[in-house]
Structure 1
Amino acid sequence: MIRNVLTKTLIRHSDDRGFFMELLREDDEIFNGFGQASLSLSYPGVIKAFHYHAQQDDIWYFPSGQAQVVLHDLRPDSPTYKQTDVYYMGELSPYLLFIPRGVAHGYRVLGHLPATIVYFTNKAYDPADPDEFRLAYNDPDIGFNWQTRFR
Protein backbone atom coordinates (compact mmCIF):
# COMPACT_ATOMS: atom_id res chain seq x y z
CA MET A 1 0.00 0.00 0.00
CA ILE A 2 1.30 3.44 -0.90
CA ARG A 3 2.24 5.50 2.15
CA ASN A 4 -0.55 7.73 3.52
CA VAL A 5 -3.18 6.11 1.28
CA LEU A 6 -6.14 5.07 3.42
CA THR A 7 -9.29 3.09 2.72
CA LYS A 8 -12.56 2.84 4.62
CA THR A 9 -15.01 -0.04 4.40
CA LEU A 10 -18.57 1.23 3.98
CA ILE A 11 -21.50 -0.38 5.79
CA ARG A 12 -24.92 -0.47 4.12
CA HIS A 13 -28.05 -0.41 6.34
CA SER A 14 -31.03 -1.74 4.38
CA ASP A 15 -34.75 -1.96 5.07
CA ASP A 16 -37.96 -2.14 3.04
CA ARG A 17 -37.66 1.54 2.02
CA GLY A 18 -34.16 1.28 0.54
CA PHE A 19 -30.69 1.71 2.03
CA PHE A 20 -28.52 4.19 3.91
CA MET A 21 -24.74 4.39 3.82
CA GLU A 22 -22.44 6.87 5.54
CA LEU A 23 -19.68 7.95 3.19
CA LEU A 24 -17.42 10.30 5.16
CA ARG A 25 -17.47 11.65 8.70
CA GLU A 26 -15.53 14.39 10.45
CA ASP A 27 -14.27 11.80 12.93
CA ASP A 28 -12.99 9.43 10.23
CA GLU A 29 -9.26 8.85 9.98
CA ILE A 30 -9.65 9.16 6.20
CA PHE A 31 -10.73 12.84 6.24
CA ASN A 32 -11.21 15.74 8.63
CA GLY A 33 -12.61 19.26 8.42
CA PHE A 34 -16.34 18.97 7.91
CA GLY A 35 -19.22 17.00 9.39
CA GLN A 36 -20.40 14.05 7.35
CA ALA A 37 -21.28 12.85 3.84
CA SER A 38 -24.04 10.25 3.46
CA LEU A 39 -25.90 8.34 0.75
CA SER A 40 -29.48 7.03 0.89
CA LEU A 41 -31.71 5.29 -1.65
CA SER A 42 -35.51 5.43 -1.37
CA TYR A 43 -38.09 3.54 -3.40
CA PRO A 44 -40.84 5.16 -5.50
CA GLY A 45 -43.57 6.82 -3.47
CA VAL A 46 -41.61 6.77 -0.18
CA ILE A 47 -41.95 9.92 1.93
CA LYS A 48 -39.14 10.69 4.36
CA ALA A 49 -40.32 13.70 6.32
CA PHE A 50 -40.01 15.80 8.37
CA HIS A 51 -36.96 16.40 10.52
CA TYR A 52 -34.79 19.37 11.47
CA HIS A 53 -31.61 20.15 13.37
CA ALA A 54 -30.63 22.69 16.02
CA GLN A 55 -26.90 22.77 15.19
CA GLN A 56 -26.53 21.04 11.83
CA ASP A 57 -26.80 22.42 8.30
CA ASP A 58 -27.41 20.06 5.35
CA ILE A 59 -26.54 20.19 1.67
CA TRP A 60 -28.64 17.82 -0.47
CA TYR A 61 -28.01 16.40 -3.93
CA PHE A 62 -30.01 13.73 -5.80
CA PRO A 63 -27.72 12.08 -8.38
CA SER A 64 -30.38 9.60 -9.55
CA GLY A 65 -34.15 9.50 -9.58
CA GLN A 66 -36.44 12.45 -8.90
CA ALA A 67 -37.69 13.89 -5.61
CA GLN A 68 -40.10 16.50 -4.36
CA VAL A 69 -38.26 18.27 -1.54
CA VAL A 70 -40.27 20.23 1.01
CA LEU A 71 -38.79 22.78 3.42
CA HIS A 72 -40.64 24.51 6.28
CA ASP A 73 -39.05 27.34 8.26
CA LEU A 74 -39.30 26.75 12.03
CA ARG A 75 -37.02 29.67 13.04
CA PRO A 76 -39.13 32.26 14.94
CA ASP A 77 -36.59 35.04 14.28
CA SER A 78 -36.61 34.43 10.50
CA PRO A 79 -38.50 36.73 8.12
CA THR A 80 -39.78 33.56 6.41
CA TYR A 81 -40.97 31.90 9.65
CA LYS A 82 -43.63 29.24 8.90
CA GLN A 83 -43.06 29.54 5.12
CA THR A 84 -43.07 26.30 3.12
CA ASP A 85 -41.07 25.90 -0.11
CA VAL A 86 -41.02 23.04 -2.61
CA TYR A 87 -38.09 22.03 -4.83
CA TYR A 88 -37.96 19.36 -7.52
CA MET A 89 -34.54 17.73 -7.54
CA GLY A 90 -32.89 14.81 -9.28
CA GLU A 91 -31.06 13.65 -12.33
CA LEU A 92 -33.40 15.72 -14.56
CA SER A 93 -32.80 18.85 -12.47
CA PRO A 94 -29.39 18.52 -10.81
CA TYR A 95 -28.33 21.02 -8.16
CA LEU A 96 -27.23 21.31 -4.54
CA LEU A 97 -29.67 22.55 -1.91
CA PHE A 98 -28.33 24.14 1.29
CA ILE A 99 -30.75 23.62 4.22
CA PRO A 100 -29.93 25.71 7.31
CA ARG A 101 -30.46 24.51 10.85
CA GLY A 102 -33.97 25.17 12.13
CA VAL A 103 -35.61 24.47 8.76
CA ALA A 104 -37.64 21.25 8.66
CA HIS A 105 -37.02 19.17 5.56
CA GLY A 106 -38.23 16.04 3.85
CA TYR A 107 -38.82 14.51 0.46
CA ARG A 108 -41.03 12.19 -1.58
CA VAL A 109 -39.65 10.01 -4.35
CA LEU A 110 -41.36 10.73 -7.67
CA GLY A 111 -41.77 8.46 -10.68
CA HIS A 112 -41.24 4.72 -11.01
CA LEU A 113 -37.55 4.48 -10.10
CA PRO A 114 -35.70 4.77 -6.78
CA ALA A 115 -34.03 8.07 -5.92
CA THR A 116 -30.57 8.37 -4.46
CA ILE A 117 -29.64 11.28 -2.21
CA VAL A 118 -26.10 12.26 -1.27
CA TYR A 119 -26.00 14.74 1.56
CA PHE A 120 -23.34 16.58 3.45
CA THR A 121 -23.56 18.01 6.95
CA ASN A 122 -21.38 20.30 9.03
CA LYS A 123 -21.61 17.93 12.03
CA ALA A 124 -21.25 14.17 12.28
CA TYR A 125 -24.22 12.18 13.59
CA ASP A 126 -23.76 11.26 17.24
CA PRO A 127 -26.09 8.41 18.29
CA ALA A 128 -25.47 9.27 21.97
CA ASP A 129 -26.64 12.88 21.42
CA PRO A 130 -28.49 13.13 18.10
CA ASP A 131 -29.21 16.60 16.73
CA GLU A 132 -32.31 15.40 14.93
CA PHE A 133 -35.88 16.34 15.77
CA ARG A 134 -38.78 14.67 13.99
CA LEU A 135 -42.19 15.88 12.86
CA ALA A 136 -44.80 13.74 11.11
CA TYR A 137 -44.93 13.95 7.30
CA ASN A 138 -48.53 15.16 7.71
CA ASP A 139 -47.90 17.55 10.64
CA PRO A 140 -50.95 19.86 10.83
CA ASP A 141 -48.81 22.92 11.67
CA ILE A 142 -46.99 22.49 8.34
CA GLY A 143 -50.14 21.41 6.50
CA PHE A 144 -48.38 20.18 3.35
CA ASN A 145 -50.36 17.97 0.94
CA TRP A 146 -47.96 15.36 -0.50
CA GLN A 147 -50.41 14.09 -3.14
CA THR A 148 -49.72 14.87 -6.78
CA ARG A 149 -52.59 16.83 -8.23
CA PHE A 150 -53.50 16.78 -11.92
CA ARG A 151 -55.41 19.61 -13.55
Structure 2
Amino acid sequence: MTDFMPPAQPFPHIHGMYTVSIRAFADERGRFMETFRREWFPSVSWDKIQTNRSESKAGVLRGLHYHFHQIDYWYVLHGRIRVGLADLRPNSPTFMHTATLHMGEDDNIGLFIPIGVAHGFVALTDCILTYMVNNYYDGGADERGVAWNDPDLA
Protein backbone atom coordinates (compact mmCIF):
# COMPACT_ATOMS: atom_id res chain seq x y z
CA MET A 1 0.00 0.00 0.00
CA THR A 2 1.39 3.42 -0.94
CA ASP A 3 0.87 6.84 0.58
CA PHE A 4 -1.87 7.38 -2.00
CA MET A 5 -3.89 4.44 -0.71
CA PRO A 6 -5.17 4.99 2.84
CA PRO A 7 -7.09 2.02 4.18
CA ALA A 8 -10.75 2.45 4.90
CA GLN A 9 -11.49 2.16 8.61
CA PRO A 10 -14.76 0.72 9.91
CA PHE A 11 -16.94 3.46 11.37
CA PRO A 12 -17.33 2.27 14.97
CA HIS A 13 -20.98 3.23 15.50
CA ILE A 14 -22.70 1.76 12.43
CA HIS A 15 -21.89 -1.63 10.91
CA GLY A 16 -20.80 -1.56 7.27
CA MET A 17 -19.84 2.12 7.23
CA TYR A 18 -16.28 3.24 6.61
CA THR A 19 -14.24 6.41 6.87
CA VAL A 20 -11.06 7.18 4.99
CA SER A 21 -8.41 9.61 6.23
CA ILE A 22 -7.22 11.10 2.98
CA ARG A 23 -3.65 12.31 2.80
CA ALA A 24 -2.99 15.76 1.39
CA PHE A 25 0.26 16.52 -0.39
CA ALA A 26 0.94 20.24 -0.05
CA ASP A 27 3.58 22.66 -1.21
CA GLU A 28 3.77 26.36 -2.02
CA ARG A 29 1.56 25.80 -5.11
CA GLY A 30 -1.34 24.21 -3.27
CA ARG A 31 -2.52 20.69 -2.41
CA PHE A 32 -3.13 17.37 -4.15
CA MET A 33 -5.33 14.55 -2.81
CA GLU A 34 -6.79 11.34 -4.14
CA THR A 35 -10.29 11.42 -2.68
CA PHE A 36 -11.44 7.96 -3.80
CA ARG A 37 -10.02 4.62 -4.88
CA ARG A 38 -12.14 1.50 -5.11
CA GLU A 39 -9.35 -0.61 -3.62
CA TRP A 40 -9.68 1.34 -0.35
CA PHE A 41 -12.81 -0.77 0.21
CA PRO A 42 -11.70 -4.35 -0.55
CA SER A 43 -14.53 -5.95 1.42
CA VAL A 44 -17.24 -4.00 -0.44
CA SER A 45 -18.41 -4.84 -3.94
CA TRP A 46 -19.74 -1.77 -5.75
CA ASP A 47 -19.24 0.16 -8.94
CA LYS A 48 -19.40 3.94 -8.80
CA ILE A 49 -21.37 5.12 -11.83
CA GLN A 50 -22.36 8.70 -11.03
CA THR A 51 -20.73 11.61 -9.21
CA ASN A 52 -22.85 14.46 -7.86
CA ARG A 53 -22.14 17.88 -6.40
CA SER A 54 -24.32 19.51 -3.75
CA GLU A 55 -23.90 23.17 -2.78
CA SER A 56 -25.53 24.41 0.42
CA LYS A 57 -25.63 27.71 2.26
CA ALA A 58 -24.70 27.86 5.95
CA GLY A 59 -27.60 26.65 8.10
CA VAL A 60 -29.25 24.51 5.41
CA LEU A 61 -30.47 21.11 6.60
CA ARG A 62 -30.35 18.34 4.01
CA GLY A 63 -32.67 15.98 5.78
CA LEU A 64 -32.26 12.34 6.53
CA HIS A 65 -32.99 9.92 3.73
CA TYR A 66 -31.99 6.37 2.93
CA HIS A 67 -31.79 4.22 -0.15
CA PHE A 68 -32.96 0.71 -1.03
CA HIS A 69 -30.36 0.21 -3.79
CA GLN A 70 -27.82 3.02 -3.59
CA ILE A 71 -24.46 3.27 -1.85
CA ASP A 72 -22.99 6.74 -1.24
CA TYR A 73 -19.42 7.95 -0.78
CA TRP A 74 -19.15 11.53 0.50
CA TYR A 75 -16.31 14.02 0.46
CA VAL A 76 -16.53 17.69 1.48
CA LEU A 77 -14.74 19.92 -1.03
CA HIS A 78 -15.45 23.22 0.70
CA GLY A 79 -16.81 24.27 4.08
CA ARG A 80 -17.97 22.20 7.06
CA ILE A 81 -20.95 19.94 7.71
CA ARG A 82 -22.34 17.95 10.60
CA VAL A 83 -23.54 14.57 9.35
CA GLY A 84 -26.40 12.67 11.00
CA LEU A 85 -26.63 8.90 10.50
CA ALA A 86 -29.15 6.23 11.52
CA ASP A 87 -28.97 2.50 10.81
CA LEU A 88 -32.42 1.45 9.57
CA ARG A 89 -31.46 -2.06 8.44
CA PRO A 90 -33.47 -4.55 10.57
CA ASN A 91 -30.87 -7.33 10.20
CA SER A 92 -27.90 -5.12 11.08
CA PRO A 93 -26.10 -5.61 14.42
CA THR A 94 -26.34 -1.82 14.83
CA PHE A 95 -30.04 -1.51 13.89
CA MET A 96 -31.45 1.82 15.16
CA HIS A 97 -28.01 3.06 16.24
CA THR A 98 -27.39 6.71 15.44
CA ALA A 99 -24.22 8.76 15.11
CA THR A 100 -22.98 12.17 14.11
CA LEU A 101 -19.75 13.14 12.43
CA HIS A 102 -18.17 16.45 11.48
CA MET A 103 -16.62 16.68 8.03
CA GLY A 104 -14.88 19.58 6.36
CA GLU A 105 -12.39 20.65 3.75
CA ASP A 106 -9.54 20.57 6.27
CA ASP A 107 -10.44 17.14 7.71
CA ASN A 108 -9.82 15.21 4.48
CA ILE A 109 -12.31 12.49 5.40
CA GLY A 110 -14.21 10.29 2.97
CA LEU A 111 -17.41 8.64 4.24
CA PHE A 112 -18.82 5.38 2.82
CA ILE A 113 -22.58 5.00 3.50
CA PRO A 114 -24.17 1.60 2.79
CA ILE A 115 -27.69 0.84 1.63
CA GLY A 116 -30.28 1.29 4.39
CA VAL A 117 -28.38 3.81 6.50
CA ALA A 118 -30.22 7.13 6.74
CA HIS A 119 -27.96 10.11 6.16
CA GLY A 120 -28.23 13.86 6.05
CA PHE A 121 -26.34 16.94 7.13
CA VAL A 122 -26.54 20.49 8.32
CA ALA A 123 -24.22 22.96 6.63
CA LEU A 124 -22.17 24.64 9.35
CA THR A 125 -20.74 26.99 6.70
CA ASP A 126 -21.40 27.44 3.01
CA CYS A 127 -20.29 24.09 1.66
CA ILE A 128 -19.76 21.93 -1.38
CA LEU A 129 -20.20 18.17 -1.02
CA THR A 130 -19.31 15.69 -3.71
CA TYR A 131 -20.80 12.24 -3.54
CA MET A 132 -20.34 9.18 -5.66
CA VAL A 133 -23.06 6.57 -6.04
CA ASN A 134 -23.54 3.14 -7.55
CA ASN A 135 -26.93 3.84 -9.18
CA TYR A 136 -28.28 6.62 -11.37
CA TYR A 137 -30.75 9.05 -9.84
CA ASP A 138 -34.24 7.71 -10.51
CA GLY A 139 -36.47 10.58 -9.48
CA GLY A 140 -36.69 9.47 -5.86
CA ALA A 141 -38.15 5.97 -6.23
CA ASP A 142 -35.08 4.49 -4.50
CA GLU A 143 -35.18 6.72 -1.43
CA ARG A 144 -37.32 7.41 1.60
CA GLY A 145 -37.12 10.28 4.03
CA VAL A 146 -36.93 10.31 7.81
CA ALA A 147 -37.77 13.33 9.96
CA TRP A 148 -34.62 14.81 11.46
CA ASN A 149 -36.37 14.97 14.85
CA ASP A 150 -38.00 11.51 14.77
CA PRO A 151 -38.25 10.45 18.45
CA ASP A 152 -37.46 6.83 17.56
CA LEU A 153 -33.98 7.95 16.54
CA ALA A 154 -33.28 9.97 19.69
Please, what TM-score do these two structures have when normalized by structure 1?
Answer: 0.68
* Other structure's SS at 2:152 match: coil
* Other structure's SS at 1:124 match: coil
Structure 1 counterpart of 2:122, from 90, 101, 108: 108
Matched, 1:50 2:64: yes
Q: How large is the RMSD of aligned CA atoms in angstroms? A: 1.3
* Other structure's SS at 2:107 match: coil
Q: Deviations over 1:34-89 (max 9, x none)?
A: 33110011111111111000111000010100000111000111111111111110
Q: Deviations over 1:2-58 (max 9, x none)?
A: xxxxxxxxxxxxxxxxxxxxxxxxxxxxxxx63311001111111111100011100
8 A Cα contact 1:48 1:137, kept in partner: no
Structure 1 segments of 4+ aligned residues over 4 angstroms from their partners = none
Structure 1 counterpart of 2:53, from 16, 34, 39: 39
Matched, 1:126 2:138: yes
What runs of 5+ residues in structure 2 fail to find an aligned partner?
Answer: 1-46
Please, what TM-score do these two structures have when normalized by structure 2?
Answer: 0.66
User: C-alpha distance in 2, partners of 1:97/1:131?
Assistant: 20
Matched, 1:137 2:151: no
User: C-alpha distance in 1, partners of 2:89/2:135?
Assistant: 19
* Other structure's SS at 2:151 match: coil
2:84 maps to amino acid: V
Residue correspondence of structure 1 range 1-151 to structure 2 within 5 A: 34-110=48-124, 113-127=125-139, 130-143=141-154
User: C-alpha distance in 2, partners of 1:142/1:92?
Assistant: 29
**Identity across the alignment (%):** 44
* Other structure's SS at 1:126 match: coil
Question: Which structure would you say has the larger Rg?
Answer: 1
What runs of 5+ residues in structure 1 fail to find an aligned partner?
Answer: 1-32, 144-151
User: C-alpha distance in 2, partners of 1:68/1:94?
Assistant: 14
